[in-house]
Structure 1
Amino acid sequence: MAVHLFIRFPIAIRTRKSLSLFFSPFSSSPSSPSSDEESVVTTVVSILSHHRSKSRWSRLRSLYPNGFNPTDFSKITLQLKNKPHLALQFFRYTKSLCNHNLSSYSTIVHILARGRLKSHAQEVIRTAIRASKLQDNDDEHHLGSAPLKVFSNLVKTYKDCGSAPFVFDLLIKACLESKKVEPSIEIMRLLQSRGINLKVSTLNSLIYCVCQCRGVDAGYEIYREVKEIWDEMGELNCAPNAYSYTVLMAAFCEEGRLEDAEKLWVEMRNEEMEPDVVSYNTLISGFCKTGNVRRAEEFFREMEVGGIESTATTYEHLIKGYFDIGDIDSAILVYKDMCRKAFKPEALTLDMMIRLLCDKLRVHEALEFLRYAMDKFDLFPKEKSYEALIKGLCYEGKMEEALKLQVEMVGKGFRPNVDIYNAFIDGYIRHGNEEMAEALRKEMLQTQIQS
């Protein structure tokens, strides 16, 4: 389905007045209710409002065993719009007693949204999107997708429900959760064409999702489109924060396009927007992944000079960067600095350090790292780290230490494998203990047969 760019109207403040200008042409005046309908609505509202919770539902079942139609449900729910929790209970009660349509779903969504029951409103939106796929409404066939049908019904019922503008943010977030990018973009443009703006956080989520689903170039197009809105919103104290830029910088970094990421960084600084630790970590990670750890260090130093506190993640990125280029000494310095600041390293980082030190035949240092991490941070290595340490000790002829470590390894639930046996066998042979080497060979074969 093609995405159409609607002609934009001047940006307006998100107020009920501006929204009413948008919704009025879509709203239809409700027809005059019959006396029977009025009786049903009045009776149900009275029962819900005045009966105790234990008796109200049994009373409703006895009076209305066949349930309610969507129109009656909407009229009843509208009478409860100042009691959103009660409206939600009534909706749950009617799930099996009302063949809900998009109009009745929209009514309860609005009531929940205006009552700030956001998670419940979003849950009903997801239900409405699923339901709309099963309905073939010719009047709305031109809308082409379930989310847009839900959007149309939310528009029609907005004014009567006295809803809140962020109900459309909830709709787009529900769409993005299921990767429905195209209808999200269309809804955003429909709203913006009438001067109604989504929250910055919603736009950030939209940009991020477009980057994930369609690539960073598509995300960048949406970013440029909404940036025009942000620029005009600046006077209304609705300007984006650093995260708005970080979302796209992260996408560029993910694709290794660090030059584009840095251009955005410069643009952000030119906008006199102060980067936060997430912004710095994003670029530090990006440069480390491409092997340019020195540039990452420059951003790290800039962050410290600017008074922005680093996090454990900052150090993890740098350690991984040095690990990838084989610079063990720099990795050790960063690791020690991390520990001095009482940041707990990830278990993966500890394993990385142990294996790198063992590869450089610095087994004693690797053991020191292990013992310190176990004592200080209650961290324990994985099987591959034990294997690397045991191999290193056996190579150096420190068989007793290797045996002690092998016992510790078994105590952590790791069984000796062929590589561990071969490390001990090679170690004993290298240091002249053929008898022990032969005994281990036999044990290894027996173990393999049994397993």
Structure 2
Amino acid sequence: MSIMNHQLSDILAFSTIWVLIFLVQSSPSGFIAENFPFDELGSKLSMFLSLFMPKGRVLLTRGFHIGKQFLNPNTEDIIFKALCVNLKQRRWKFLEQISPNLTSSLLNRVICEFQNSPNLALEFYDWIAEKKVSHSLEPCYSVIHVLVKSRRFDEALCLMGSLICEKGTSPLKVLEGLVNSYEICGSSPAVFDALVRACTQAGVTEGAYDVINKLRNEGSWVTIHAWNNFLSHLLKLGEIDRFWNLYGEMVSYGYIESVNTFNLIIYALCKECRLMEAISVLYRMLKGGSCPNVVSFNMVIDGACRNGDLDLAMKLMEKISIMSGDSVWPNSVTYNCIINGFCKTGRVVFAEEIRREMIKTGIEPNVRTYATLMNGYARGGSVEEAFGLCDEMVERGLLPNTVVYNSIVQWLYREGDTEAASILLSDMIDKHIYPDHHTYSILIKGLCSNGSVIEALKLHNQIVEHNLMGDTFSYNILINYVCRSKHFSGAKQLLGSMFTHGLIPDTVTYGTLIDGYCKQGNTESAVQVYEGMIKVNEKPNLTIYNSVINGLCKEELVDAAKLLVSALQRMHLFDAITFNTLINGYCVSGQIDEAFASISEMNRLGISLNRVTYNTLINTLCKFGCNQEAKELMKMMIAKGIRPDSVTYTTLVTHFSNHCDSEEVIALHDYMVLKGVIPDWQTYKAIVSPLNVGKRESSV
């Protein structure tokens, strides 16, 4: 009986709506009001429906009660009220029946009506999308407003990301839709901040900036939070120059930096190794009343460690509490940064002391602490100590993670102990710690470096078959080793496999192929790879250009290499390697004047001559029999604070032994040793040692 009543109530409700819709739509204005007293109609309908429905289910009569204040209702208002009443009860079947009359404006009204019940609003929107009730994007914009107002940012970002990435809606079009629905939804500026974040998450950098700029031009700004998000995105992309330009633009608009803004500035300065400026930002924050947090200090400490200045890092850690007025204290991240700094410089003993100090202050070492120390021991060849730390970590109740295993496996492969690496991998799987794509990359690189390229290719194929390939790293490793073996057809096959499996080759992929072809002297193929790179909008970096310059020089196309260097100068894209490669090309082709002219150009551009530059010129002078000039250049090199290496030593000693007497050779050897040069043992044994013996015998 209950089921029958429910079904009957649905039929009556649906019939009542269509009766009213028909009357409103088919009657002249005012006709219904004059000929059908709605109060009377409403009461009669109520009496009629009460015969068939329980008291608690007479919903539509209340929804359609028409008073004196509503004498001429329209269709949308009637359907709107019916929708709201039935949506509260989640009566989706009823909604499907009236779906042909659901316009975009009506859907928007319903979503906004339930903005205090975001779950219901989102359910309704999902129903709209599933049933394809509306092809308009307006309901989507409305539900985004509702989600942002209820602080459900992840779901709002997901919807905006879908609009931008899947439906191809431009960020400015999304902005227009959000602006148009802003008032009706009673929204807040946070929705525009969320749009900027959605753009950066989707990697649409220019779109994010367009949104910021468009709002500013129309007098409605995003908040400092959106700017912070955008600036952080630029730093992640490595666009530091643009970061500084847009930071200046932001400040010029009158924005006041928050702690997060200052932290981004500190990060950028540390990235550029401008540590003193980063420290000055800390003082600027303190002076301006914006107290740095532990993240601010940790970034400077980490920057000092990465720069090798561990003394500065230690001093900063000791002064954190003093500088912050006892509001900030070192945490586990602080200690881990310094432990990592000592481990990377090979001073694991000092790192262990920091760990002990960390425990004394009441901060327990975490998995990252142990992973860093184990990597430090393994780096120094002390794999047994690394295993010992792993046991200690387990005793403390900390389980080794994939990072820990990856670190030890990597160093076992570097030592050539492939058997131990395999045992450790088996142990890893037995403990249900499953390898990730970094593990597979380590395996492939380990096999390749130990001469097992065929096994590495087999493993790679198995990984690809099981869809475990997460990035291009393993492909890049294989392509590198295949190019070294000059098996370029195999490299091309790997490149094709990347596209087949949905992986886009990156700059490293193309750079490896171009470098391989250039070293082989096949500049034509290198140029073809370069052109393919440009077609897929992959921007070449300086390493790739330097490889091309090297290839041109090897084929004695030095003039073409010079033209490329000139083009790079106009792009402000060059380094010491660029000019060293060109100088070597000039020297090989016998263009000594051009080589020294390039030296002058380096000085003009502020590029310091390095050991490679001097060795190239010394070798060229020796080949042309300019003994004294080569010797003087070596002395100039020392005067500039650049110590000659074994290459310098072998070049000069070998040449002087062929063209000068023994006393001059011995004097040259003694001079370089006194200046701190470590002689090449083979050269000393073959040339200098016999001369010394002969000198002693002749003196006797």
Cα 1:169–1:325 change in 2 (3 A) is farther
CA spacing shift, 1:309–1:198, aligned 2, 3 Å: farther
1:124 Cα deviation from its structure 2 partner:
2.0
- Cα deviation code 1:44-99 (max 9, x no counterpart): 343232467564x3333433426423x33323322222232222222223221212
* 3-state SS in 2 of match to 1:309: coil
* Counterpart residue number, 2:294: 242
What residue number does 1:406 align with? none
When Rg is computed on C-alpha atoms for both structures, the one with the higher figure is 2
CA contact (8 A) 2:99 2:133 kept: no
Q: Deviations over 1:352-407 (max 9, x none)?
A: 66897999999xxx89x98xx89x9788999999xxxxxxxxxxxxxxxxxxxxxx
Secondary structure in 2 matching 1:214: coil
Instruction: Classify 1:54/1:350 alpha carbon distance in 2 versus 1 (closer, same or farther; 3 Å).
Output: closer
- Measured in 1, the distance between the counterparts of 2:73 and 2:350 equals 72
Structure 1 counterpart of 2:141: 106
2:447 equivalent in structure 1: none
Q: 1:285 to 1:358 in 2, by over 3 A?
A: closer
Relative contact order, higher structure (CA 8 A, sep 6+): 1
Is the Cα–Cα contact under 8 Å of residues 112 and 121 in structure 1 kept in the other structure? yes
Distance 1:298 1:263 in 2: 12
When the two chains are superposed, the root-mean-square deviation of aligned CA atoms in Å is 5.5
Cα gap change, 1:196/1:378 in structure 2, threshold over 3 Å: closer, same or farther?
closer
Q: 1:244 to 1:221 in 2, by over 3 A?
A: farther
AA partner of residue 228 (structure 1): E
Partner of 2:393: 338
Do residues 277 (structure 1) and 332 (structure 2) align? Answer: yes
- For residues 289 and 351 of structure 1, the distance between their equivalents in structure 2, rounded to whole angstroms, comes to 17
Offset at 1:198? 5.0
Counterpart among 223, 227, 237 of residue 213 in structure 1: 237
How many Å apart are 1:322 and its aligned residue? 1.8
Does structure 2 retain, via aligned residues, the 8 Å contact 1:188–1:198?
Answer: no
Say whether 1:58 aligns with 2:93. yes
Deviation at 1:314, TM superposition (A): 0.8
- Per-residue CA deviations over 1:28-48 (Å, capped at 9, x if unaligned) read xxxxxxx99953144234323
Once the two structures are TM-superposed, the CA of residue 120 in structure 1 deviates from its matched residue by 2.7
Aligned counterpart, 1:176 = 200
Which consecutive unaligned segments of at least 5 residues does structure 2 have? 1-70, 263-283, 444-700
Inter-CA distance 306–300: structure 2 relative to 1 (3 Å threshold): same
Q: Residue 359 and residue 207 in structure 1: after superposition, are their counterparts in 2 closer, same or farther (change >3 A)?
A: closer
Check conservation: 2:86, 2:95, Cα contact below 8 A: no
Q: Is the 8 A contact 2:125 2:140 kept in 1?
A: no
Count residues with an aligned counterpart. Answer: 327
Hey, what does 1:125 align to over in structure 2?
160
**Secondary structure, counterpart of 2:203 in structure 1:** coil
Change (3 A) 1:238 1:62: farther
Do residues 90 (structure 1) and 114 (structure 2) align? Answer: no
Match of 2:257 in 1: 228
User: 1:323 offset after TM fit, Å?
Assistant: 0.8
Alignment of 1:39 with 2:75, yes or no, is yes
CA contact (8 A) 2:224 2:257 kept: no
Q: How big is the shift at 1:300? A: 3.6
CA contact (8 A) 1:80 1:87 kept: yes
TM-score by length of 1: 0.53
Change (3 A) 1:357 1:108: closer
| 3-state SS of 1:228 partner | coil
SS in 1 for 2:182: helix
Say yes or no: does 1:163 pair with 2:197: no
What secondary structure does 1:161 align onto?
Answer: coil
Alignment partners' CA distance in 2, 1:112 and 1:249: 39
5 Å-filtered alignment, 1:50-449, equals 50=86, 53=89, 55=91, 57-65=92-100, 67-69=102-104, 71-95=105-129, 96-101=132-137, 103-130=138-165, 133-134=168-169, 146-164=170-188, 166-184=190-208, 197=223, 209-214=233-238, 228-230=257-259, 241-243=293-295, 257=307, 270-271=323-324, 273-282=328-337, 284-285=339-340, 288-289=343-344, 291=346, 293=348, 296-297=351-352, 299-328=354-383, 331=386, 334-346=389-401, 349=404
CA contact (8 A) 1:151 1:187 kept: yes
**Quick check: 1:110–1:158 contact (8 Å CA) kept in 2?**
yes
1:234 Cα offset (Å): 9.7
Q: Deviation digits for residues 89-146 of structure 1, max 9, x if unmatched?
A: 2222322121223x54322111122234333322222233347745xxxxxxxxxxx3
Is there any run of 5+ residues in structure 1 with no aligned partner, and where?
1-34, 135-145, 386-451
1:326 match: secondary structure: coil
Q: Is the 8 A contact 2:111 2:143 kept in 1?
A: yes
Closer, same or farther in 2 for the Cα pair 1:162/1:324, shift >3 Å? same
2:116 is paired with a residue of what secondary structure? coil
Conserved 8 A contact 1:41-1:76: no
Give the SS at the match of 2:400: coil
| 2:509 corresponding residue in structure 1 | none
* 1:147-177 deviation per Cα after TM superposition (whole angstroms, max 9, x unaligned): 3443454345434423355434533332232
TM-score by length of 2: 0.37
- Relative to structure 1, is the Cα distance of residues 315 and 156 closer, same or farther in structure 2, using a 3 angstrom cutoff? same
- Give the direction of change, closer, same or farther, for the CA distance of 1:106–1:335 in structure 2 (3 Å limit): same
- Aligned partners of 2:339 and 2:369 also within 8 Å: yes
Distance 2:350 2:240 in 1: 22
Once residues 172 and 204 of structure 1 are traced to their aligned partners in structure 2, the CA distance between those partners, rounded to angstroms, is 10
Preserved contact between residue 347 and residue 379 of structure 1 (Cα < 8 Å):
yes
Cα 1:54–1:182 change in 2 (3 A) is: closer
CA distance in 1, matches of 2:256, 2:340: 25
Partners in 2 of 1:309 and 1:289 — Cα distance?
A: 22
Per-residue displacement from partner, 1:237-280 (whole Å, max 9, x unpaired)? 99674346657987x699x5565995996797645533432344
Kept after mapping to 2: 8 A contact 1:68/1:94:
no
Which amino acid in structure 2 is aligned with residue 125 of structure 1? M
Aligned equivalent of 2:31: none
CA distance in 1, matches of 2:376, 2:240: 23
C-alpha distance in 2, partners of 1:342/1:285? 22
Partner SS for 1:100: coil
- Taking the aligned partners of 1:62 and 1:127, their CA distance within structure 2 comes to 29
How far has the Cα of 1:332 moved from its partner? 5.3
In 1, the alpha carbon distance for the partners of 2:315 and 2:184 equals 43
Q: Retained in 2: the 8 A contact 1:315–1:335?
A: yes
Name the CA distance, whole Å, in 2 between partners of 1:156 and 1:233: 40
Give yes or no for contact 2:371–2:403 (8 Å, CA) kept in 1: no
Percent identical across equivalent pairs?
24
